Amino acid sequence: MLHPAGLRDISDAASLLAEGFATDPLWNLLLGPSRTRDHSMMFAEAWIRAGLAAGEVLLDSTRSSVSVWILPALEHQSVEPKMRAAADLQKLVGERHRQASRLEAQLMLFRPQRSVIHLGMLAVNGADRRKGLGWMHLEHGRQRGLEFSSPIYLETSNRAAISLYAKFGFTSLGSCEFDTIGSHIECMLLALPPETQRPCVSS
């Protein structure tokens, strides 16, 4: 069972992200080879706070998995929390900001020009993988998609995760290489039945 995380859960949720993405090629690119455990935790905490400000963060009952969702902006929501979270992430990236900005520009070519729910992060503790926890988070996302009449969008550089998302029903919109050894980010979308989707609106 999943439950929403709050401010008191930031440390636990960030630890799951930092451990789950320790070998992720994009995570390593952004933080650099000289990163420390503290750097990884700061980066992870920035993502958790972004989720709490502009969406939701979910933990399972055993605190073995976490997901960060950015929900479509509602009329009463301010964009300021999203802007502050983005600024925090840019500061943490530091000297690699220019490289990250180039990659961001490439990703914009594939991002849907419509209202979507963005799965920002999904991590499962190593000892608890292949137990259906990731699938459970994705099922939650599907239900939220139906509630908001929005497809689910994500970006991932994890090959095993790409396989999981494809099995769940996500399709690839394209990919971007971001290093010299062929690592790439896959942009993926889980579409909803046509009658439940909102019309495409240019941003």
Per CATH, the homologous superfamily of domain 2-196 is Gcn5-related N-acetyltransferase (GNAT) (3.40.630.30)
| Long-range residue pairs from 135-139, CB within 8 A, at least 24 positions apart, any chain | 135/164, 135/168, 136/2, 136/60, 136/65, 137/2, 137/58, 137/60, 137/65, 137/67, 138/164, 138/165, 138/168
Per-residue tens of pLDDT for the chain, all 203 residues: 999 999 999 999 999 999 998 888 777 777 776 677 888 888 889 889 888 988 999 999 999 999 999 998 643 344 444 445 555 555 655 555 666 677 778 888 888 887 899 999 999 998 888 899 999 999 999 999 999 999 999 999 888 899 999 999 999 999 988 765 567 899 999 998 754 444 444 33
So where are the chain's domains?
2-196
